[in-house]
Structure 1
Amino acid sequence: MTKVAFIGAGSVEFTRNVVTDLCGFTALHGQLDLMLHDIDEERLGYAEALVRRINQQTGAGARVGSSLDRQAAVEGADYVINEIQVGGYRATRTDFDIPARYGVRQTISDTIGVGGVFRGLRTIPVLMAIGEDLAKVAPDAYLLNYSNPMAMLPWAVYAGTPFARVVGMCHSVRDTHRFLAGVAGLPVSEVDFLTAGFNHQAFVLRFEHDGTDLYPRLHAAIDADPQLRRRVRVEIFRRFGYFPTESSEHGAEYVPWFMRHDDEIEHFRIPVGEYLRRSERNLDEYGETRRELESGGPLTLTPTSELASEFIHAHQTGAAREIYLNVRNDGLISNLPAECCVEVPAVVDASGPHPQPVGALPPQLAALNRTFLNVVELTVRAVLDGDRRHVHQAVLLDPNAAAVLTTRQAEAMCDELLAAHGELIPAALRQPRRPPC
């Protein structure tokens, strides 16, 4: 049996997508052992009921179980899929509300920025604890991480625990490739892409069809469409020469030029507070799934080509496929630090993932990435070193926050957030800082 453990399985819509895909692979029928874990007993119960129904409807012949004990759930696993959100909606609300009182506007707030830093501080310790568990009870497993902030979490696991078989997974590269192929009027399968950088700030380095550069076609489409020019990611492309992988609402808060200006927010249609609305919709989706399960009727099962299921299928069957993964750099991108976590193409086959070297990024892209990296690295180091000063420094160096706050305001805001999140923050970081010199 191939054991797949889900951490945070109470995120039922995500669990539904991955399990539907896994159970849809006939090559895996009769081979899957699906073990679910969550800290919320009610959500875990619904997740288990959901997975049992999917297994029954697809005839996958999987073994299904659940446990509130995380280490027991992952013991002997071949794959561990992480989908947690530490602190849930309440913590996310705090990440938006307190900075808003200081004048800091955010859209998604899960990557860098003030919200990304504090989500990292809450989540890194849990990911490290999972890494410690796996080193003890499932050392040969792959930890497939979906949680944000992606550039921080795998880095903390491979730098701070004995466990190194961790990769990050995100849809942003795949979705960007589909978008660009659509603008070019071509099937995505016919377009040759090469993309690299950090998760949520990677760039399409090669965009070709039969050896012909498609960037001139993209420029022409943008010149002909005023609405395309009202997207942040298109503005970044026009200024830096390569198309970014992240959506405009995400990308707006990684740089200093948009969020502080009312006219830019209006012009580029930036949805301030967007993640709060998405979180509320997710709560509604959970309620809909509960009602669907309780109705007793057949579930609507739609394959989604989730990256984790594709990774597992490729590794188990040897049917190699390319998947963009977040992994330790180690020279894959030669002008970024070796220890950071980068997003690059990888071939996954029976022997595992094989990240592909990219070489040096164009200097302007590496410069943007290094600005992004400052916040990521200081947040990781804050947890690994137990140094509260790094929390303040990460926010002081964050482009969006720095465009709005003075040094004193930034530190006061961080102190308020550290206090508000309480025990979700590592104990070493909850201690009051020393007075400034």
Structure 2
Amino acid sequence: MTKVAFIGAGSVEFTRNVVSDLCSYPELQGQLELSLHDIDADRLAHAEALVRRIDEETGAGARVSSSVDRRTAVEGADYVINEIQVGGYQATRADFDIPERYGVHQTISDTIGIGGVFRGLRTIPVLIGIGADLAEVAPDSYLLNYSNPMAMLPWAVHAGSPFHRVVGMCHSVRDTHKTLAELVGLPVEEIDFVTAGFNHQAFVLRFEHQGRDLYPALRAAIDADPELQRRVRVEIFRRFGYFPTESSEHSAEYVPWFMHHPGEVEHFRVPIGEYLRRSERNIDEFAATQQALKGGGPLPVDATSELASEFIHAHQTGRAREIYLNVRNDGLISNLPDECCVEVPTLVDASGPHPRPVGALPPQLAALNRTFLNVVELTVRAVLDGNRDHVYQAALLDPNTASVLTTRQTVQMCDELFAAHGDLIPEALRKA
């Protein structure tokens, strides 16, 4: 049997997508053990009912279990999929509302920025705990992380636990490649891409078709379309020379040039507060799925080619495929620090993941990545070292926050967030 454990299984989207994929693979039918964990017993019961229904609809013959005890759920696992959001909607609401009172606008607030810092403070200790558990009860497993802030979490697992078989997964590179293929009018599978950097701030370094550089065609498509020119990621491409992988709403809050300027917000159509609206839609979707399960009718099962399921399938069957993963750098990008977590093309086969070295980034991209890295590194160090000053320093060095606030205002805002999050923050950091 192949045991796949889900931490934060009450997440509607990822659990459903990954389980639907796994149960749809003919090679894995009759071979799956699906173990579910969530700290919310009601959500866990919903997740178990959902997974059992998917198993029934697909005829996969999976063995399904659930537990509110994490170690029980992950013991002996081959793969552990992490999809937690520590503090849920209420914590996210605080990450938006308190900075907004200080004039710090955010769109997604889960990566860097003041919201990314405090999400990191809440989440890093949990991931380190997961790493400690896996080192003891599932040392040969792979931890497949979906949670944000992605650039912080695998780094923290490596640095703060004895478990190092951790990779991060995000859709942004794959979605960007698809978008670029559509813009130049070619099938995505015919294009040669190489993309690298940090999660949510990687760049397409190679964009070719049969040896022909496609960037001139992309520039022509943008020059011909005034609406395309009103996207933040297109503006970053025009100024830095390489197309970024993250959406415009994400990208706008990683840099100092957009969020604090009402004219730029309007021109580039920056959706301030977007993640709150998405979170509210997710709450509605959870309720709708609950109703569908209670109704007893058929539940449509659609294969989604989710990254975790592709990783598991490639590793189990030996059918190698390239997936973009977030891994410890160790020289993969030569002008970024070895210990940081980078996003690079990775071949996954029966022997595991094999990240591809990409060499040095162009200097302007490495420079932009370093402004991102400042916040990530200081947040990770704040938790590992129990150093509250590093939290203030991360916020002071955040490009978006620094474009709005003075040093004293930044510290005061952080203190309000510490108080609002209470016990979700590591104890060593709660002491002013």
The TM-score by the shorter chain falls in which range?
A: over 0.9
Which residue matches 2:61?
A: 61
Residue 195 in structure 1 maps to residue 192 in structure 2: no
Distance 2:79 2:22 in 1: 12
Q: Secondary structure at the match of 2:103?
A: coil
Q: 1:292 — aligned with what?
A: 292
Question: Is the 1:95–1:118 Cα contact (8 Å) retained in structure 2?
Answer: yes
Structure 2: how far apart are the matches of 1:132 and 1:229? Answer: 47
How many residues matched? 432
Structure 1 residue 402, shift from structure 2 partner: 0.3
Aligned partner of 1:245 in structure 2 is 245
Contact 1:128–1:157 (CA under 8 A) maintained in structure 2:
yes
TM-score normalised by structure 2 residue count: 1.00
Aligned mates of 1:255, 1:123 — CA distance in 2: 23
Deviations 1:13-72 (A, max 9, x none): 221100000001000011100000000101100100110111111111110000000000
Cα shift at 1:104? 0.1
Counterpart of 1:73? 73
SS in 2 for 1:381: helix
Whether 2:62 is the aligned partner of 1:87: answer: no
Cα contact 1:233–1:248 (8 A) shared by 2: yes
**Residues in 2 aligned to 1:288 and 1:416: alpha-carbon distance in whole angstroms:** 35
- What CA distance in whole angstroms lies between the structure 1 residues aligned with 2:211 and 2:14? 37
Match of 2:146 in 1: 146
Aligned to 1:321: 321
Contact kept in structure 1, 2:58 and 2:301, CA below 8 Å = no
Deviations 1:301-351 (A, max 9, x none): 111100000000000000000000000000000000000000000000000
Quick one: distance in 1 between partners of 2:348 and 2:255? 33
Please give the residue correspondences for 1:251-400 in structure 2 after superposition, counting only pairs within 5 Å.
Answer: 251-400=251-400
CA distance in 2, matches of 1:353, 1:225: 40
Residue in structure 1 matched with residue 134 of structure 2 by the alignment: 134
| Alignment root-mean-square deviation, CA | 0.4
| Shift, 1:300, TM fit | 1.0
Whole-angstrom CA distance in 1 between matches of 2:282 and 2:302: 18
Q: Deviations over 1:251-295 (max 9, x none)?
A: 000000000000000000000000000000000000010011011
Instruction: Please tell me whether residue 166 in structure 1 is matched to residue 166 in structure 2.
Output: yes
TM-score between both structures, scaled by the size of structure 1: 0.99
Q: Counterparts of 1:425 and 1:161 in 2: how far apart (Å)?
A: 18
Residue 230 of structure 1 aligns to which amino acid in structure 2? R
Identity rate of aligned residues, in percent?
Answer: 80
Whether the aligned pair in 2 keeps the contact of 1:13 and 1:285 (CA below 8 Å) is no
- Aligned partners of 2:147 and 2:13: how far apart in 1? 14
What's the offset of the Cα at 1:12? 2.1
Shift of 1:216: 0.2
Question: Aligned residue for 2:226?
Answer: 226
- Give, as a single letter, the amino acid of the residue that structure 2 aligns with 1:253: E
1:364 is aligned with what amino acid? Answer: Q
Does the aligned pair in 1 maintain the 2:311–2:348 contact within 8 Å?
yes
* Whole-angstrom distance in 2 between the partners of 1:97 and 1:56: 43
Match of 2:425 in 1: 425
SS of equivalent residue, structure 1 residue 202: strand
State how far apart, in whole Å, the 2-side matches of 1:302 and 1:35 are.
21
User: Secondary structure in 2 aligned to 1:410?
Assistant: helix
Q: Which runs of 5+ in 1 are unaligned?
A: 433-437
CA distance in 2, matches of 1:13, 1:393: 35
CA contact (8 A) 1:96 1:115 kept: yes
Give the Cα–Cα distance (whole angstroms) in 2 for the partners of residues 62 and 319 of structure 1: 22
Are the aligned partners of 1:396 and 1:410 in contact in 2 as well (CA < 8 Å)?
yes
Structure 1: distance between partners of 2:46 and 2:391: 37
SS at match of 2:354: strand
Shift of 1:366: 0.2
Paired residue type of 1:262: P
Q: 2:179 and 2:166 mapped to 1: Cα distance? A: 28
Return the letter of the residue paired with 1:388. Answer: R
Where has structure 1 moved over 4 Å in runs of 4 or more?
Answer: none
Moved more, 298-307 or 268-277: 298-307
d(CA) in 2 for partners of 1:375 and 1:125?
A: 17
Amino acid at match of 2:93: R
What do the CA deviations read for 1:354-386 (whole angstroms, capped 9, x no partner)?
Answer: 000000000000000011000000000000000
Q: Equivalents in 2 of 1:95, 1:122: separation in Å?
A: 11
Matched to 1:84, the amino acid is I
Q: Which residue of 1 aligns with 2:415?
A: 415
In 1, Cα distance between the equivalents of 2:213 and 2:344?
Answer: 20
**CA–CA separation in structure 2 for the residues paired with 1:189 and 1:60:** 30
Matches of 1:10 and 1:249 in 2, distance apart? 26
Counterpart of 1:21 in structure 2 is: 21
